[in-house]
Amino acid sequence: MEKIDIKSMNLEELTEFMEGIGEKKFRAKQIYQWLHQKRVDSFEEMSNISKDLKHKLEEQTFITSLEKIDVQISKIDGTRKYLFALSDGNVIESVLMRYKHGNSVCISSQVGCRMGCKFCASTLDGLVRGLTPAEMMDQIYKIGKDIDERISNVVVMGTGEPMDNFDNLIKFITLLTDENGLNISQRNLTVSTCGLVPKMKQLADMKLQITLALSLHASNQEKRKTLMPVANSFDIHEVIDACKYYFEKTNRRVTFEYSLVGGVNDTDEDAKELTELVKGMNCHINLIPVNPIKERDFVQSNAKVISAFKNKLEKNGINVTIRREMGRDIDGACGQLRKKYIDRKETK
């Protein structure tokens, strides 16, 4: 019999499961709280559960637990970059960022990614698999335990395209926001996407209060196609329309992520086109100085160009910020720590 992933179950499913094995309903809540509030990694630690029940659970289920294999800590701003091993030997990255308003964790949603964005190290070896809801949760649990502080914000912006792992993403949101678990408000969660239009609409129809962040990175369809293969499937206007739809359904302001690549998408013309594209929308543009990766030859726009680009957008009435580079002294761009680890292993 294949064992069940107990930490990926929501409270309703766990209750059904407990009743199915002849246990009282309230046991489900107790176990759920052990897993998601006290964040234990074994049934042994569940002190108010009988030996018999522990035995039953061990026989039929397993508790997902990530193993921390590396952590790099920035001397500049305290950002921590974690490398975790999954039970099948795959490795993933997560990042803790410390802000005045609290601790924010950026998690991965897949092992690798198949979206092929040209400026991204996470996609160089393709997609291995999607993460389970428990594997997404445990990145937050392990980091929270490691620093012994509360995590107040979560962004699903690490390795992977969250919408390409949609069902698990939705389950993850249920677990994350459950009052019997971490109880993080939907408003403190951001999910990014490279623009999978049907899934963006599906998410909009659920009317959750999470922030949607679109990786835009180009001001027109032609340029976007050269940077992001996903643009071959969905036209830039279709993607923008999906963002408008998201706002209509949820009343949540959409964020556009725009990585500035020197000489590629940082010209005056780009600023003009970008303005035209998002004009009239309730949105926010986050300019990201692109992190160079050795496998591609993109360079960061220089500081002057970045600030001129920002000024132009502002003059055009667009809400815009330059994303502060966190952990500049540790492997910056997402996917790089994992990539280095894999490359090192392969050359051994």
Chain residues that interact with ligand SF4, rule: CB under 6 A: 113, 115-117, 120, 122-123, 159-161, 194, 215
The tokens for 335 are 């996917």
Sign of the CA dihedral running 311, 312, 316, 320: negative
Q: Point out the catalytic residue in the list 120, 194, 243, 334.
A: 334
Q: Point out the catalytic residue in the list 23, 93, 135, 161.
A: 93
> From the CB of 213, what's the least distance to ligand SF4, in Å?
11
CB count in 10 Å sphere of residue 8: 21
> From the CB of 192, what's the least distance to ligand SF4, in Å?
7
Q: Which of 9, 26, 23 lies closest to 52 in space, CA to CA?
A: 23
Q: Choose between 269 and 295: whose C-beta lies nearer to ligand SF4.
A: 295
Active-site residue flag, 334: yes
Angle, CA of 184, 153 and 194, to the nearest 5° = 110
> From the CB of 60, what's the least distance to ligand SF4, in Å?
35
Q: Which of 66, 210, 235 lies closest to 136 in space, CA to CA?
A: 66
Q: Choose between 15 and 165: whose C-beta lies nearer to ligand SF4.
A: 165
C-alpha–C-alpha distance, residues 169 and 38, integer Å: 22
C-alpha–C-alpha distance, residues 263 and 269, integer Å: 11
Q: Choose between 118 and 312: whose C-beta lies nearer to ligand SF4.
A: 118
Active-site residue flag, 45: no
Whether the Cβ atoms of residue 29 and residue 11 lie closer than 8 Å to each other = yes
C-alpha–C-alpha distance, residues 81 and 328, integer Å: 11
Q: Choose between 217 and 252: whose C-beta lies nearer to ligand SF4.
A: 217
> From the CB of 288, what's the least distance to ligand SF4, in Å?
11
> From the CB of 116, what's the least distance to ligand SF4, in Å?
6
Whether the Cβ atoms of residue 111 and residue 159 lie closer than 8 Å to each other = yes
Q: Choose between 133 and 162: whose C-beta lies nearer to ligand SF4.
A: 162
Residues marked as catalytic: 93, 334
